[in-house]
Amino acid sequence: MRAITARRAKSLQHRSNCFCTDNSGAKEVRFVSVIGLHTRKKMSPKAGIADMITVVITKGKPEMRKKVERAIIVRTKKEFRRPDGMRVKFEDNAVVLVDEKGLPKASEIKGAIAKEVGERWPKIAGIAAAVV
């Protein structure tokens, strides 16, 4: 997993609700934990843009509901700063479902994704509608 250039805010925390912005069948997910995060004891996990997280699907197709999956955060409401000084924020918190290697499970991503996601996960940027 590559480092990204932006100073990203750790904006999502445990039990945050996010929209699933791909066509995998999930509509809404709940954030459970961060993959590869090592923190102090009893500290709640937090994640930012382009992080791989574990989610539980809360709304969507009946066969998808109540399943634990991995996802990548592609949009956040909390603004983050790029090296050129520009601040970027989106209207909603959104994720894309992926497998263990970081390859997307869906074939299409609705809406824009951040450029930092494309730096770390190029396969997700390849199927996105727009990269901002």
H or E segment and range at residue 123: helix 122-127
Radius of gyration, alpha carbons of the chain: 14
Task: Kindly state the tokens that stand for 72.
Answer: 């990548």
50 token code pair = 């382009």
Contact (CB, 8 A) for 72 and 124? yes
Return all residues near 43 (Cβ < 8 A) that are at least 6 apart: none
CATH architecture of the domain with range 12-131:
Beta Barrel (2.40)
- pTM of the predicted protein model: 0.92
Q: How many other CB atoms are found less than 10 A from the CB of residue 92?
A: 11
pLDDT < 50 regions, the chain:
none
Q: Are 59 and 65 in contact (CB under 8 A)?
A: yes
Q: Which residues pair with 109 in a beta bridge?
A: 22, 128
**What pLDDT does 20 receive?**
96
* Distance of alpha carbon 132 from alpha carbon 116, whole angstroms: 9
Dihedral sign from CA coordinates of 130, 92, 23, 73: positive
φ/ψ of residue 111, rounded to 5: 85, 180
- DSSP, collapsed to helix, strand or coil, labels residue 34 as strand
